[in-house]
């Protein structure tokens, strides 16, 4: 599982030109899965994200969590995070988890974040979306389950 975390001042998602969801201060999460991902991994990654301190305190140190700043989450499914460009010029997505299982894990991941007390707004799984955001910092992290948990 890979999650790109972007600290934002605001973010929104449109599908077919219509606003689907928007957030103020918080995280825009780009979320992708590989075939070996499972429910345990999604729970661990959700828990990790919940504990991260990516917002600055009054001294300019990244000591504040998303809960500390009353932030929101805009979660966007993105199978292209596992795109492979080692061969040729067109990416292969053979390392991305197939749609129905990926959709299940995506829903579970968002539900886990909600159980942890976060307001989670979502994109539309499998849809072509227009994502708009204003990065703060910019501050962007990539969490990879293989790097964290082997």
Distance, CA of 139 to CA of 72 (rounded, Å): 16
Task: Reply yes or no on whether 78 is catalytic.
Answer: yes
Considering the candidates 78, 109, 118, 125, report the single residue annotated as catalytic: 78
Considering the candidates 33, 55, 79, 118, report the single residue annotated as catalytic: 79
From the number of C-beta atoms within 10 Å of its C-beta (0-12, 13-18, 19+), residue 102 rates as: buried
Decide if 27 contacts 7 (C-beta within 8 A): yes
* DSSP code, position 97: P
Task: Reply yes or no on whether 42 is catalytic.
Answer: no
Task: Reply yes or no on whether 79 is catalytic.
Answer: yes
Active-site residue list: 78-80
């Amino acid at each position: 599982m890979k999650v790109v975390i972007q600290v934002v001042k605001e973010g929104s998602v449109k599908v077919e030109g219509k606003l689907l969801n928007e957030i103020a201060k918080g995280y825009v999460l780009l979320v992708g899965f590989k075939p070996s991902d499972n429910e345990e991994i999604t729970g661990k990654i959700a828990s990790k994200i919940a504990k991260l301190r990516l917002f600055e305190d009054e001294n300019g140190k990244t000591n504040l969590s998303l809960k500390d700043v009353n932030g929101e989450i805009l979660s966007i499914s993105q199978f292209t995070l596992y795109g492979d460009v080692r061969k040729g010029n067109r990416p292969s997505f053979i390392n991305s988890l197939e749609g129905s299982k990926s959709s299940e894990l995506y829903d579970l991941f968002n539900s886990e974040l909600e159980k942890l007390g976060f307001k989670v707004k979502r994109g539309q799984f499998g849809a072509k979306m227009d994502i708009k955001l204003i990065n703060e910092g910019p501050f962007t992290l990539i969490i990879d389950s293989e790097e964290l948990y082997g």
